[in-house]
Amino acid sequence: MKNDGYLRALRGEPVERTPVWIMRQAGRYLPEYRATRAEAGSFLDLCQNAELACEVTLQPLRRFDLDAAILFSDILTVPDAMGLGLSLEEGVGPRFARPVRDAAAVTALGVPDPEGELRYVMDAVRTIVRALDDSVPLIGFAGSPWTLATYMVEGGTSRDFRRVKAMAYEQPALLHDLLGVVADAVGEYLKAQVAAGVDALMVFDTWGGALGWRAYREFSLPYMARIVETVKSAPNGSSTPVTLFTKGGGQWAEAIAATGCDAIGLDWTASLGEVRARLGEGVALQGNMDPMSLYGPPAAIRREVAAVLADIGDGGRHVFNLGHGVLPDIDPDHVAVMVDAVHELSARGAS
Amino acid sequence: MKNDGYLRALRGEPVERTPVWIMRQAGRYLPEYRATRAEAGSFLDLCQNAELACEVTLQPLRRFDLDAAILFSDILTVPDAMGLGLSLEEGVGPRFARPVRDAAAVTALGVPDPEGELRYVMDAVRTIVRALDDSVPLIGFAGSPWTLATYMVEGGTSRDFRRVKAMAYEQPALLHDLLGVVADAVGEYLKAQVAAGVDALMVFDTWGGALGWRAYREFSLPYMARIVETVKSAPNGSSTPVTLFTKGGGQWAEAIAATGCDAIGLDWTASLGEVRARLGEGVALQGNMDPMSLYGPPAAIRREVAAVLADIGDGGRHVFNLGHGVLPDIDPDHVAVMVDAVHELSARGAS
């Protein structure tokens, strides 16, 4: 691979500069993405068209000096394939026609075949791998079982997760049944992504931070641990680094590291240096610039980059990223300032 | 005072049982509150009517065996008194007619006279103090400067704090000017509450957790520290315990303790025991049951209470509370289960 800095940083091997990629780097802040999206039709049409999904995956790599590509898809493809009937309307957010709220609905759920209902994702992976032609690694991903369960039970996005948290407190056994089948589905899905050619995996536990610390250890973390184990024991899995990202999970970093993951994604509320001091070098850290800091002028963006790099200190085992997805109204030129500043300010002698 | 367990727990003195109060304990989940609110007219009418504000402050104490009363008011009374024109519509949330978005608007802000524009709050405090008749302590409160600034700049509630965070990254000096005048206003307001008779103070930094760890130390914490200092140096201030509550601030507990506050409020993402181990006994901890756990059946609520008490261990310097406000659709009987379980499960021999 021409540029494997991202994979080396994850493994704790020497790198010439801190690698950087951006959560939601293929997305609405790019005019070329909006054009392709308009051509595709709906967001789901875009996800399901391997050629166009490949095109939007590659677009940010043409603009920015990024060290990894990430599959263009959505975490909700899995529950959609489980039969919930996903719709994604602009301005409304995701909706499931058939939310999961009782034992009958949980029992009816099966594990989708990644090369069946989800073949369109695997086709996109294969198309992107060919197009990347060993230039940079491709990151595959899925939502965490807990995060997917929030959408599946609520029927869409939620501000407060009232239904799914009520289920956690009223019918914990039912929620565990749901999380179990979702974990199986996600495990198969990620194994298939590895088989189709992704070089690394990321699990997005976007809503894990809504749980209490004990509830997180009961309803989210064990299911991510099961997925790490499933992936690691599959063919090529042991050499595929897995990053777990729980938004708001900085204070739980020790527990996250104990899953056996290779890297922990952190949001901007955590200090990379402090988490590194707590955990040692046994796990890579990813993050963690505030996405809103990209509203600032270029000089302020460079200062923020410098502050994030200074926080982690010598830069060992660090992948630079935002602490959450890039916002749709960010100026792409500001993203370029960030990416270039990361490389420039982290440059070290060849090792 | 008949029951000063809350104040003793804050000071680290022995208590017979862990004291408990509930954030937003005077509120919509109580039918008697809804009746008084209907009688008063709008929410602001209720805040501005000392007799009715006193009535709703006392209502939860009649139902539950609570160890403290909290002034019925709203954190946005201060920016309203600064001339921003507050409206609070059911279902819409708070709105300011004149948000603060440029230097001219910041310069125009003055520090309101707590016995002038805000006299209605002080009248409510005096009325409640008389009615409580030394039964339990009365907690006064204010919003943190950062949290108030989010509403003042956004013009209301926000999901992402885009305007105020853009100001932080684009015009930090302007935001500091705004925070400075708000901190002066809050300092005077809390000093006046102490003079009017409150026994303890709480600062709600509801949105501090939206900031990055460095930004929190720049834009929220120093202004709360200034308020602690202002209050502590005022008449009766040094004997008035101050609790700082930053939602999502568990990982910053060391920095919060360094302000000189008497207690730190924690949400349910933090482990009380872990924070206690990090900080020692120098500061009291308040919290931290998930408000959603009150949806569960009584047996589950008692288990949650037991788990929170077990987390803090011997129960030293602990005030039991939810990790955020009680939700409007919670069954009051479930609140009673929680309050009684706290007292029963924490009972220790007289000391």
pLDDT tens-digit map of B8-65? 999 999 999 999 999 999 999 999 999 999 999 999 999 999 999 999 999 999 999 9
Count of CB atoms situated within 10 Å of the CB of B191: 21
Phi/psi-derived region of residue A191, left when phi > 0, alpha when psi is between -120 and 50, beta in every other case = alpha
**Structure confidence at residue A351 (pLDDT):** 43
Phi/psi-derived region of residue A201, left when phi > 0, alpha when psi is between -120 and 50, beta in every other case = beta
**Structure confidence at residue B88 (pLDDT):** 87
CA distance A345 to chain B (A): 19
**Structure confidence at residue B342 (pLDDT):** 98
Evaluate whether A163 touches A101 at the Cβ level (below 8 Å).
yes
Q: Would B291 be classed as within a structural domain?
A: yes
**CATH number (domain holding residue A99):** 3.20.20.210
Q: Would B351 be classed as within a structural domain?
A: no
Does A162 touch chain B if contact means CB atoms closer than 8 Å?
Answer: yes
**Structure confidence at residue B27 (pLDDT):** 94
β-strand partners of A285: A264, A318
**Structure confidence at residue B100 (pLDDT):** 98
Number of domains in chain A: 1
**Structure confidence at residue A124 (pLDDT):** 98
Q: Which two tokens stand for residue A112?
A: 């989708």
For residue A162, the chain B residues in CB contact (below 8 A) are 292, 295, 327
**Structure confidence at residue A316 (pLDDT):** 80
Among B101, B158, B292, B338, the residue to mutate for chain A (most A Cβ within 10 A): B292
Q: What is the mean pLDDT of chain B?
A: 96
Q: Would A273 be classed as within a structural domain?
A: yes
Q: How many CA atoms lie within 13 A of A120 on its CB side?
A: 18
ipTM of the prediction: 0.93
The residue among A185, A207, A205, A333 whose CA lies nearest residue A264 is: A205
Percent of chain B predicted with pLDDT > 70: 99
β-sheet with B69-70: strand ranges across: B69-70, B138-143, B200-205, B242-246, B263-265, B284-289, B318-322
The residue among A233, A342, A267 whose CA lies nearest residue B209 is: A267
Predicted confidence (pLDDT) at residue B175 exceeds the cutoff of 90: yes
Question: Of B4, B6, B37, B311, which residue is the catalytic one?
Answer: B37
CB-nearest to B170 from A160, A211, A296 is: A296
CB-nearest to B170 from A251, A297, A311 is: A297
Q: Which helix H or strand E contains A148, and what residues bound it? A: helix A145-154
Percent of chain B predicted with pLDDT > 90: 94
β-sheet with A263-265: strand ranges across: A69-70, A138-143, A200-205, A242-246, A263-265, A284-289, A318-322
DSSP, collapsed to helix, strand or coil, labels residue A202 as strand
Q: Which residue has the tokens 């992402």?
A: B160
Cβ <8 Å between B290 and A215 = yes
Active site residue B102: no
Mode of pairing for the β-strands spanning B284-289 and B318-322: parallel
Residue ranges for chain A with pLDDT beneath 50: 350-351
CA dist., res. A83 & res. B82, Å (int): 54
**Structure confidence at residue B155 (pLDDT):** 97
DSSP, collapsed to helix, strand or coil, labels residue A268 as coil
First to last CA, chain B: 18
CA dist., res. A122 & res. A113, Å (int): 11
**Structure confidence at residue B90 (pLDDT):** 77
Query: Which amino acid is residue B329, in one-letter code?
Result: D
* Closest alpha carbon within chain A to B304: A169
Does B270 touch chain A if contact means CB atoms closer than 8 Å?
Answer: yes
Does B158 touch chain A if contact means CB atoms closer than 8 Å?
Answer: no
For residue B174, the chain A residues in CB contact (below 8 A) are none
Mean pLDDT of B251-268: 98
Query: Which amino acid is residue B294, in one-letter code?
Result: L
For residue B324, the chain A residues in CB contact (below 8 A) are none
CA dist., res. B232 & res. B240, Å (int): 7
Question: Of B34, B65, B74, B295, which residue is the catalytic one?
Answer: B74
Q: How confident is the model over B103-145, as pLDDT tens digits?
A: 999 999 999 999 999 999 999 999 999 999 999 999 999 999 9
Does B277 touch chain A if contact means CB atoms closer than 8 Å?
Answer: no
The three state secondary structure string of chain B is: CCCCHHHHHHHCCCCCCCCECCCCCCCCCCHHHHHHHHHHCCHHHHHCCHHHHHHHHHHHHHHCCCCCEECCCCCCHHHHHHHHCEEEECCCEEEECCCCCCHHHHHCCCCCCCCCCCHHHHHHHHHHHHHHCCCCCEEEEEECHHHHHHHHHHCECCCCCHHHHHHHHHCHHHHHHHHHHHHHHHHHHHHHHHHHCCCEEEEEECCHHHCCHHHHHHHHHHHHHHHHHHHHCCCCCCCCCEEEEECCCHHHHHHHHCCCCCEEECCCCCCHHHHHHHHCCCCEEEEEECHHHHHCCHHHHHHHHHHHHHHHCCCCCEEEEECCCCCCCCCHHHHHHHHHHHHHHHCCCCC
Question: Which pLDDT band, with edges at 50, 70 and 90, does B349 fall under?
Answer: low
* Closest alpha carbon within chain B to A217: B269
DSSP, collapsed to helix, strand or coil, labels residue A262 as coil
Phi/psi-derived region of residue A229, left when phi > 0, alpha when psi is between -120 and 50, beta in every other case = alpha
CA dist., res. B188 & res. B175, Å (int): 20
**How far is Cα of residue A189 from the mean position of the Cα atoms in its chain?**
14
Mode of pairing for the β-strands spanning B93-96 and B86-89: antiparallel
**Structure confidence at residue A55 (pLDDT):** 98
CA distance B218 to chain A (A): 13
Q: Would B236 be classed as within a structural domain?
A: yes
CA dist., res. B335 & res. A52, Å (int): 53
Evaluate whether A200 touches A240 at the Cβ level (below 8 Å).
yes
B301 or B92, which is more confident: B301
Count of CB atoms situated within 10 Å of the CB of B350: 6
Count of CB atoms situated within 10 Å of the CB of B116: 9
For residue B309, the chain A residues in CB contact (below 8 A) are none
DSSP state string for A33-101: HHHHHHHH-SHHHHHH-HHHHHHHHHHHHHHS--S-EE----TTHHHIIIII-EEEETTTEEEESS---
Q: What domain range includes position A59?
A: 5-346
**Structure confidence at residue A350 (pLDDT):** 47
Q: Would A328 be classed as within a structural domain?
A: yes
Predicted confidence (pLDDT) at residue B350 exceeds the cutoff of 60: no
